[in-house]
Amino acid sequence: MTRARGRSTRRNASPRRAGGIGVGALALLLLVAWVMIGPDPEAELPFGPSAPTRTESAAPAPSGATDPSTAAGQLAALEVKGRAPTTGYDRDLFGWRDDTDHNGCDTRNDVLRRDLTDVELKPGTDGCVVLAGTLEDSAYSGQDVAFDREKDNSLDIDHVVALSDAWQSGASGWDEDTLRAFANDPRNLLAVEDSLNRSKGDGDAATWLPPDSSQRCDYVARQVAVKSDYGLWVKPAEKDAMQRVLATCEGFPAFTDDAAWPAPRPATT
């Protein structure tokens, strides 16, 4: 009786082992066939992790990206870093409107005298204070804007590279003289519509560009030149935005214009 039970147990076990071997062999054959035929690139894998998803590529570098005489080449040479904190930032630290060139006039009126036509000066101010004039072909809107100090004072002076942006891009480590020089640098200052200046705020090229698209290459080239001259860095998204703009005007020259303002002249009566 005991031997019969033993033989019966061995006979019942052999089909299970054979079945297990058959399933394993079938799985192996299917795997070999799948590898030899090759996977469908559009199909999901039968096992293992799914294929990686596609990611959006960065903005392509514009033509001339290695030529330092172009805005794109100048941009390529800038350091790329993240935004630094605003800790310690105070607009007054920059000494904006100081008479840094010692011509007897504050910076706001220097810019107005440079950027406006048909300028009317206030008597008794040594040719400094601008009462009225016309901003022709605004650097941000392309429009002509009438300016009247007594009526609407419709123009602001914009820092092309905003003071807060500069602070978060390396200026926090500057000494007092460099802060003042930057804030009153003619290359970084433009007379523009007050509404556009305020909509820009302290944004960089990633968050704000002139609404007139024909002005954007000049705007970005000026920003790049200022950041280059002062050793400021650009943020990754900012650089991408600048590259996209400069790709629309390949070979656009680096900003080298003489942006100085004219010397004060006596008001005519």
pLDDT at 54: 41
Give the C-alpha separation, 101 to 83, whole Å: 31
Given the structure tokens 């009526």, which residue do they identify? 151
114 and 225 within one domain: yes
In a domain, 33, yes or no: yes
Write out the DSSP string of 48-105.
SSPPPPP-PPPPPPPTTTT-TTBHHHHHHTS-B-PPPP-TT--GGGG-TT--TT-SSS
pLDDT at 9 over 60: no
37 and 159 within one domain: no
pLDDT at 27: 52
148 and 237 within one domain: yes
224 and 118 within one domain: yes
pLDDT at 10 over 70: no
- What whole-number percentage of the chain has pLDDT above 70? 74
155 and 123 within one domain: yes
In a domain, 254, yes or no: no
Element (H, E) at 177: helix 176-183
pLDDT at 267: 60
How many CB atoms are located within 10 Å of the residue 65 CB? 19
pLDDT confidence of 18, banded at 50, 70, 90? very low
- What whole-number percentage of the chain has pLDDT above 90? 65
In a domain, 94, yes or no: yes
80 and 8 within one domain: no
pLDDT at 17: 43
pLDDT confidence of 28, banded at 50, 70, 90? low
pLDDT at 102: 82
Q: What is the pLDDT of residues 86-127, one digit of tens each?
A: 999 999 999 988 888 888 899 999 999 999 999 999 999 999
| Overall domain count for the chain | 2
Query: Average pLDDT for residues 65-82, to the nearest whole number?
Result: 94
- Domain encompassing residue 177: 71-249
45 and 107 within one domain: no
What's the number of CA atoms in the CB half-sphere (13 Å) around residue 80?
A: 12
pLDDT confidence of 51, banded at 50, 70, 90? very low
Mean pLDDT taken over the chain: 83
Q: What is the pLDDT of residues 217-233, one digit of tens each?
A: 999 999 999 999 999 99
212 or 40, which is more confident: 212
In a domain, 36, yes or no: yes
266 or 45, which is more confident: 266
* Of 44-48, 76-80, 131-135, 173-177, minimum mean pLDDT range: 44-48
pLDDT at 13: 40
In a domain, 264, yes or no: no
In a domain, 185, yes or no: yes
150 and 48 within one domain: no
205 and 137 within one domain: yes
79 and 46 within one domain: no
pLDDT at 165 over 80: yes
Give the phi and the psi of residue 183 in degrees, each rounded to 5. -65, -25
Give the C-alpha separation, 55 to 48, whole Å: 21
pLDDT at 211 over 70: yes
In a domain, 66, yes or no: no
Give the C-alpha separation, 269 to 265, whole Å: 12
pLDDT confidence of 36, banded at 50, 70, 90? low
88 and 1 within one domain: no
In a domain, 61, yes or no: no
Q: What is the pLDDT of residues 121-152, one digit of tens each?
A: 999 999 999 999 999 999 999 999 999 999 88
229 and 108 within one domain: yes
Residues paired with residue 193 on neighbouring β-strands, in sequence order: 155
